[in-house]
Structure 1
């Protein structure tokens, strides 16, 4: 059960009891709205809040609030604010009314560092198909800044008119600086249409992250034309099991994932991304794998079209507002 700070509930029941009751309803709700969702689980430890009139009352809902501070030079700062308050709702069947209630209570409980920091964000991750809650998120100023999208196992899409001059191959250590350059193009673009942040040390952080990926033996694919690297696809494989950070987001099992996809400016729209995905996808869905997943930004006019064409569909939406104090 969740351990954390809490306040008395309107019904006099302990917050832990309310969370448990609402979780059972939330599990049923998730199964109704999207069969691709895993079974709903309790939120991580944090500050528990409960709103509503009492046991079984319409609109009764709960949530857990957590706070993250990312130090300078850490990889999450490439896509996250430095101070983050995150809401983990347990709405049961309360829908829009319950979401509205926990959002109002959440704002009242922002930690001091989040409230005062310009480099801050308020974040909620919620099933993409729950449009009732989405309405409440929009009403409070949250933006659907990213989605976790999934693709079931299956053959890769056909590449129309493949370019005979284009070669897709595994990256080697000598490609490091070219891969860093390609990754920086992706960060710069995403910072205009998503949650990425083009920070002064971004290049050094990305270089270190790529070196670590090579050390772990994770697949990195590059596209090359006339001796120039024009595309990059960073990938990996992971297992979802109880206790892992993905346990509440994806059904248990083996999953492939795409961490970063980038095509050099001026080369986009010529099939390079298609060629990279077509080459990488078979290795990301070994026998028994549940599928593949990735994150993309709905405001991105390229990725929001490209990934659905390749069979990916939103499972979870990451709602965010920066700075956190802009939450209504």
Structure 2
């Protein structure tokens, strides 16, 4: 059972409509982008079905969740989130538009009333027909999930002899926190990050946990000063996991945080960090690497494509959720 639902115009149950449209959506995704995994059923929630007849129906599931104070997602997310999981089949822009028009009526009053709230939908980046509908309803492309195939970096930059890149140790904790805070502050101006009062403490805890898991962290140092940070990891997209709905099944490397100090950007620090990290992120059998960046960010939106990353999914968002139209 997907979750709470209402009667459909065709008289078929919403769950039946979702299942039927999912087959069409899987075919549509395969046409859009061969890098996408097969489309999966949305998580449990409030089922919405709009339109009728072959090619005219669209469906989706609306979910709500809250992030508690002090949790790491609050560094990049609103506290109250309503999320739409569309199953458009082949209905395209028209189906997306109808579904989005129904969405505000399914958002709980507590979410609509919250200033720290967001409406979010994640959709394949290459589906420009749906993108037009998202824009028309007030959503903006605030982040993308970008992927890179395994392989060496294209091109070689002249290495700055004064720049050293090395793995970070636990005695580098405070330096890593300082660099991470620069990234959060910058991203809060051009993306979804939020510079919250407890951000430094939350980031310090997250870094300690990353070391405990044995995940790689790299630092760039120039003239004895830390100037760059790259937090990385390895994970599995397994059937049934949240990641399997976004990436093909298998092992993936990922970049969690990249930060270069102001005044040192554009001088090869980021390139040197990525070059050092890629061997650790590409063990034998890995499917590739992925990361999130903000399209409005004038630095990362240029840097990551130059290093072989291309958008796979776009996260469309509007804050507060009441601004959804």
**Coarse TM-score class (shorter-chain normalised):** over 0.9
Structure 1 residue 3: deviation in Å?
2.3
Equivalent position of 1:105 in the other structure: 102
Write out per-residue CA displacement over residues 43-97 of structure 1, whole angstroms, 9 at most, x where no aligned residue: 111110100024x2x3310000111101111100000000000000000000000
Q: 1:157 aligns with which of 154, 161, 167?
A: 154
What is the CA–CA distance in structure 1 between the aligned matches of 2:156 and 2:36, rounded to whole Å? 30
Q: Does 2:90 correspond to 1:93?
A: yes
Write out per-residue CA displacement over residues 283-323 of structure 1, whole angstroms, 9 at most, x where no aligned residue: 10111110000000000000000000000000000000000
Unaligned runs of 5+ in 2: none
Q: Does 2:195 correspond to 1:221?
A: no
Structure 1 residue 159: deviation in Å?
3.8
Q: Does 2:71 correspond to 1:68?
A: no
Equivalent position of 2:17 in the other structure: 18
- TM-score by length of structure 2 reads 0.99
Write out per-residue CA displacement over residues 146-183 of structure 1, whole angstroms, 9 at most, x where no aligned residue: 00000001112344111011110000111100000000
What is the CA–CA distance in structure 2 between the aligned matches of 1:7 and 1:309, rounded to whole Å? 47
What is the CA–CA distance in structure 1 between the aligned matches of 2:311 and 2:84, rounded to whole Å? 20
What is the CA–CA distance in structure 2 between the aligned matches of 1:63 and 1:51, rounded to whole Å? 9
Query: What is the RMSD of the two structures over their aligned residues, measured on CA atoms?
Result: 0.8
What is the CA–CA distance in structure 1 between the aligned matches of 2:67 and 2:286, rounded to whole Å? 33
- TM-score by length of structure 1 reads 0.98
What is the CA–CA distance in structure 2 between the aligned matches of 1:133 and 1:77, rounded to whole Å? 28
Structure 1 residue 112: deviation in Å?
1.4
Q: 2:200 aligns with which of 199, 203, 206?
A: 203
Equivalent position of 2:49 in the other structure: 50
Unaligned runs of 5+ in 1: none
Matches within 5 A, 1:293-304: 293-304=290-301
Q: 2:248 aligns with which of 248, 251, 256?
A: 251
What is the CA–CA distance in structure 2 between the aligned matches of 1:137 and 1:46, rounded to whole Å? 21
Q: 2:282 aligns with which of 285, 300, 306?
A: 285
What is the CA–CA distance in structure 2 between the aligned matches of 1:94 and 1:157, rounded to whole Å? 39
Moved over 4 A (4+): none
Q: 1:274 aligns with which of 268, 271, 293?
A: 271
Structure 1 residue 225: deviation in Å?
1.0
Structure 1 residue 113: deviation in Å?
1.3
Write out per-residue CA displacement over residues 127-155 of structure 1, whole angstroms, 9 at most, x where no aligned residue: 00000000000000000000000000111
> Is the Cα–Cα contact under 8 Å of residues 147 and 314 in structure 1 kept in the other structure?
yes
What is the CA–CA distance in structure 1 between the aligned matches of 2:161 and 2:224, rounded to whole Å? 14
What is the CA–CA distance in structure 1 between the aligned matches of 2:155 and 2:25, rounded to whole Å? 39
